[in-house]
Amino acid sequence: SQTIHQWPATLVQPVGSPLSLECTVEGTSNPNLYWYRQAAGRGLQLLFYSVGIGQISSEVPQNLSASRPQDRQFILSSKKLLLSDSGFYLCAWSVQNLDTQYFGPGTRLTVL
């Protein structure tokens, strides 16, 4: 069966510090991968998605970047965090671009 992991589960970082969130998927090959952010009162926002290694599409301009160094690994990064980067970050995967998406447990990021 397929599983998706995210770490860390929670993170408190000062403004201006770097960020690296990791997501890995097990039990499948060549998944589509997604990063979402859920901010209070704003719903889920798609940040990045990837259909293959090294292929990243960005949905909104922002302070964040994503990379996919391996088939089942998706990393969300920032060089300098802003207060507005606080939120709940969710990674998801799907077999095909438009089919059911399966979500990880999320990372709660607080920028102080």
Partner 1 sequence: KQEVTQIPAALSVPEGENLVLNCSFTDSAIYNLQWFRQDPGKGLTSLLLIQSSQREQTSGRLNASLDKSSGRSTLYIAASQPGDSATYLCAATTTQGNTPLVFGKGTRLSVIA
Position 105 contacts partner 1 (CB under 8 A): yes
**What's the per-residue H, E or C state across 49-70?**
EEEECCEEEECCCCCCEEEEEE
Of 21-29, 45-53, 67-75, 76-84, which segment contacts partner 1 by CB under 8 A?
Answer: 45-53
Cα distance between residue 13 and residue 75, in whole Å? 17
Cα distance between residue 70 and residue 57, in whole Å? 16
Cα distance between residue 83 and residue 18, in whole Å? 13
Of 19-27, 44-52, 68-76, 77-85, which segment contacts partner 1 by CB under 8 A?
Answer: 44-52
Position 28 contacts partner 1 (CB under 8 A): no
Residues that bind partner 1 (CB under 8 A): 6, 32, 34, 41-46, 49, 57, 59, 88, 90, 92, 94, 97-106, 108
